[in-house]
Amino acid sequence: MPLPCIIVGGGPAGAACAIELARKGRRVMLLEKTRTAHHKVCGEFISADARNLISDLGVDIWALEATEITALSFACGVQVPRIALPFTAAGLSRFCLDEALLRAAQDAGAEVVRGVTVTALDASEKPIVVHASGKEFRAASVVLATGKHDLRGCMRPHGSMTSFKLHLRVSPATAAMLRNLVHLTIFPGGYAGACLVERETVAICWVMERELLKKTGAAWQAQTRYLSVQSDFYGKVLAHTQPLWEKPVAVSAIPYGFVRKRVISRSIYPIGDQLAVIPSYTGDGISIALHSGIAAARAILNGTPANEFQHTVTARLRRQMIWAKAGNLAISTSAGQRLSAVMARTLPSAAARIIPFMVNATRLTDFSL
């Protein structure tokens, strides 16, 4: 007997979709490849919109010891003074957030199956066949929530950037320097962001162009030297720290700016990074993941086919993706970085106005579902 819906992937997008479906009484199975909680490449910045959606899904991030973020600092050869964010954000590791959302999905009545690796979807048959760990599952509809990792037959284009993340134990003085703050530094060939997450831990996430990575090397020691040279801020942060993992987690070929146009199937709903990949400097990836997951659930409940769902949600993302890609040119290309650095040095007041504008312009503002 086929299931009404199978969700492939247990990140924020997949969990949000499962919670929404289960709350409405729809039987749903979520397949997650990992058996236990694990860290994922993510800046771990939770915007106000994402915070509200997480709360609506039944998770209290403050009870998980999320930190409060109220300001942004920015460096591009020169340090731009701290700028107040137009909202109160939060810092929380994906390790904590993902597990809390999966527990909420189970509590809502979703069947969460862990340790199952989905290898392919066959939409040529009705119901759809989900091939996973040597087994076959069948469902009337499938939600594709595999994040930055593609499934055969549902591929996205490859990008040129590699993203890294590491958690650090820092001194009380360094923690105080980052309290209530998210910091972004751009450097030739990439950029890096840092914020405090739970338990006074610093999460540092950075992206590098392929050619720069070849020059610097991927080892943490080499990356530390490079980031410290590029930024006085990171020089101070990294001088007396203890990495909490043996090496950074990493993912390559991220297609920043991707928005899925081709429909996979009328019954396969791509969500999160499988639907659109906003450049990570914006800090709105989690918000998009949650929103698209809830929207997919409501489309399934209403009998809306995946092609209509995909068109509607990507249309809502269009404005913020345009601004996000424009900003990405300014901070990830050599010419854009030079221009940004000149403006920051010669027109600091203009930079102080442009940055808050970009913060607002790269938010998902249309939450109609």
Structural contact between residues 38 and 122, judged by C-beta atoms closer than 8 angstroms: no
Q: What are phi and psi of 167, to 5 degrees?
A: -100, 140
What is the DSSP secondary-structure string of 258-324? -B--S--BTTEEE-GGGTB---GGG--HHHHHHHHHHHHHHHHHHT--HHHHHHHHHHHHHHHHHHH
Distances (CA, A) of 124 to 29, 31, 119, 252, 310: 21, 21, 16, 31, 20
Handedness of CA 197, 43, 68, 194 (dihedral sign): positive
pLDDT at 349 over 70: no
For residue 219, the model assigns a pLDDT of 86
pLDDT at 369 over 60: no
Return the structure tokens found at 369: 């579902």
- CA–CA distance, 45 with 358 (Å, rounded to integer): 16
| pLDDT tens digits along 73-84 | 888 766 677 889
- CA–CA distance, 369 with 355 (Å, rounded to integer): 29
- CA–CA distance, 26 with 48 (Å, rounded to integer): 29
pLDDT at 56 over 80: yes
Please report which confidence band the pLDDT of residue 167 belongs to, taking 50, 70 and 90 as the band edges.
Answer: very high
For residue 81, the model assigns a pLDDT of 75
For residue 188, the model assigns a pLDDT of 82
For residue 351, the model assigns a pLDDT of 64
Please report which confidence band the pLDDT of residue 277 belongs to, taking 50, 70 and 90 as the band edges.
Answer: very high
Please report which confidence band the pLDDT of residue 326 belongs to, taking 50, 70 and 90 as the band edges.
Answer: confident
Distances (CA, A) of 235 to 83, 164, 229, 241, 291: 21, 17, 7, 11, 37
Average confidence (pLDDT) over 162-169: 94
- CA–CA distance, 47 with 125 (Å, rounded to integer): 40
Residue type present at position 260? R
Q: pTM for this structure?
A: 0.93
What the chain holds in terms of domains, given with CATH numbers, is 3-157+255-361 (3.50.50.60)
